Chains A and B, each alone.
Chain A
């Protein structure tokens, strides 16, 4: 029955693990928390019910890129009644969308929208069959990606009668799952928790003594072993540095970071998906919404700030189920560096006091951002807490959160650099037990020499001159 809908609307023959169970519960009007790994088809869980239930599906999504990606996927699938409401829309466009809101089957919104009266009024008149909260871990202050705006969602949703809520996340500890249920006001939620473990990924950690050793390792390794792959590094400058060195070796590689021209970023994603590029050297900006099933390797030249981010980045490998490899290069100064990155976005005491003094002088504290007293990301955190608690309470709160962040770094470090099985450590973080271990498990369990296959492709210098005539022929060529 459900399978026939799946076939009809999405062209798939069967469900993947978890999808059917979640959809059944949703259709049965239960609130659901679903922890499904990235790339496991999370979005089908709210997309399919839209074709079965009567009414629109409201999807709350925190990242514009993610929202855009979902909308594109639906459109690619032939769905026309889909709209994304976000800051990209002009006032006029927004007004028009709001007056036609009930004509859509899918309504995507960013959480900030819930503070707009216009939106609140418009959505109230729409018959909703389901509310999907994507990346639901953002609601938890203990999650790695807390967004204060998410708290408004819960406040709004539970004002009157509401349809069932489906909270989706790829990464949540037990504590975060509890927070999701509480803040969204879910009643006796049904839970579907998938194993976060990815059996087809082998983990290795390599200790190095300094940066140049890391770079040398990356250059040699990437040139010699199998792709496609992604190298994650911390700075824009480093993405370019490594890319240039690899280009000299004729590796088909490009750098990717958020500072690049938007069209160029789009072109690089497409080139990578099309197989024109074998490697991407990127900051953590790359990956979201890139659907490439055959990524074989993920390399980190640094330690991410927390286990959830690490698992998410590594989890981009091997979506096709084939054997894949995750390598992390570690040197002793990394821990300190990662800790400072992890706490970077928090406001400091001076900024907290400034907030107070702006307020006392009757100035809107938002001016702190334009006065360059504070960065916008830090301001959002500060503003959320200061509008609810006293200065002293906020000081304590922020300090607590910073300590928590530092703890997170240490937890990841323990998993990756301890004596025990890396896979086991990562699973334990999510409160899950390891049921079985693959043969290629991790560097602590022991990995054979050269366990990562060599690059079967010959590295050759890219073709000669450009010819617009030939290119036009290729553009319209029929294969």
Chain B
């Protein structure tokens, strides 16, 4: 249900202007111009790259279920629309986390397992996390917090307990988070085991889990718990631009033209346009007058504000002198992520 509600909410935000797989690409975090621009256009930052491993079958299953309940309708152009609106008061932060919450979880998972084994005087144990990067990080972290000190161990337990107690989550989500963890004698539960116990689908368990992680990392960002705060290291993306976009912008700032960049980088001109539109959304101070003159900008703005339409074609019909790229650029710039 939770996953279906999320889809319903996202589709609702698309205002009937996008197609069957738009929400899928959004949740997977597809780095195409269209998906990234839509993030700004429809204010979908919280859901971008929320589920990078989402399987197509699972997505389609949920869409079909929504369709059979007549909550959404798909028209003959594959445009998708909701028939009833919902208010989903759930805060995700996909845009700034970009899946990094899972790295955070691997860290806290290994930290808890290490602490639990240390408390039980077991110096050798099989790590539940297999990533070298995480092993290295936690080794440094444990040395840094001086995990062998008894007072530190007690504080760790106390801070961990405080975190779970105080974070704003339902008991269901607290359970999912805590039962995924492994200690010296308790092994974490699989999605299936949690799903059977809680009587909700596996995808819902996973989505609740992601939500709990988003809440927890934000909690730790704002609350001083000195033994847990270090686990957040580089979890939040400072720079939300794709690497390729960064390169294009760098060249642009060095005075190269779009055509030159396209040749130099061996990328299609359309891709370079995508990069520039992505950047315009990211940085509102970006001067778009190099690409589109002020008069055209205000014409496009007018159409959008009066007609309220975010589709390119109807705008193009009204402002014929503007190219599609220019329209996209203005839209992106207008709807830019002001808090990025």
Contacts and interface: CB of A to CB of B under 8 A. Distances in A.
A477 interface: yes
A267 B198 contact: no
* 7 tightest Cβ-Cβ pairs between the two chains A and B: A475-B183, A468-B178, A264-B190, A466-B175, A468-B174, A271-B187, A270-B187
Interface stretch (B93-101, B115-123, B258-266): B115-123
Contacts of B125: 76
Contact of B186 (A255, A260, A466, A475): A475
A264 B179 contact: no
Contact of B192 (A264, A266, A477): A264
Interface string A73-90: 001110000000000000
Q: DSSP class of A's interface residues: helix, strand, loop or mixed?
A: helix
Nearest to A65: B130
B187 A472 contact: no
Interface in B169-183: 171, 174-175, 177-179, 181-183
A246 to B, nearest CB: 13
B183 A474 contact: yes
A276 interface: yes
B124 A77 contact: yes
A479 B120 contact: yes
B186 A267 contact: no
Interface string B194-206: 0011100000000
Contacts of A260: 190
Interface in A267-299: 267-268, 270-271, 273-274, 276
B120 A270 contact: no
Given A270-B188, A274-B187, 19 more contacts: A261-B53, A264-B190, A264-B192, A266-B128, A267-B190, A270-B128, A273-B126, A467-B175, A468-B164, A472-B157, A472-B161, A472-B164, A474-B185, A474-B186, A475-B183, A476-B115, A476-B116, A476-B119, A479-B120
Contacts of A270: 126, 128, 182, 187-188
Nearest to B188: A267
A270 B181 CA distance: 12
A476 B182 CA distance: 10
Nearest to A277: B187
22 contacts: A68-B130, A72-B130, A76-B124, A254-B192, A255-B192, A261-B191, A267-B190, A270-B128, A276-B187, A468-B175, A471-B175, A471-B178, A472-B157, A472-B164, A474-B185, A475-B112, A475-B181, A476-B115, A476-B116, A476-B160, A479-B184, A479-B185
Interface in B125-146: 125-128, 130, 135
B103 to A, nearest CB: 13
Contacts of B192: 254-255, 264
Name the residue among B128, B183, B186 with the largest chain A CB count within 10 angstroms.
B186
Name the residue among A247, A273, A274 with the largest chain B CB count within 10 angstroms.
A274
Contacts of B164: 468, 472
A478 interface: yes
A476 B126 contact: no
A471 B157 contact: no
A349 B116 CA distance: 58
Interface string A2-31: 000000000000000000000000000000
Interface in A64-108: 68, 72, 75-77
B126 A267 contact: no
A185 to B, nearest CB: 33
B193 interface: yes
B326 to A, nearest CB: 37
Contacts of B188: 267, 270
Given A468-B175, A476-B119, A254 B126 contact: no
Contacts of A474: 183, 185-186
Contact of B160 (A276, A472, A477): A472
B209 to A, nearest CB: 11
A113 B76 CA distance: 51
Nearest to B130: A68
B189 interface: yes
Interface in A377-419: none
A75 B130 CA distance: 12
A72 B126 contact: yes
Contact of A466 (B119, B127, B179): B179
A221 to B, nearest CB: 23
Contacts of A475: 112, 116, 178, 181, 183, 186
A6 to B, nearest CB: 17
A267 B198 CA distance: 18
A267 B174 contact: no
Given A72-B130, A472-B164, A268 B112 contact: no
A479 B120 CA distance: 7
Interface in A36-87: 68, 72, 75-77
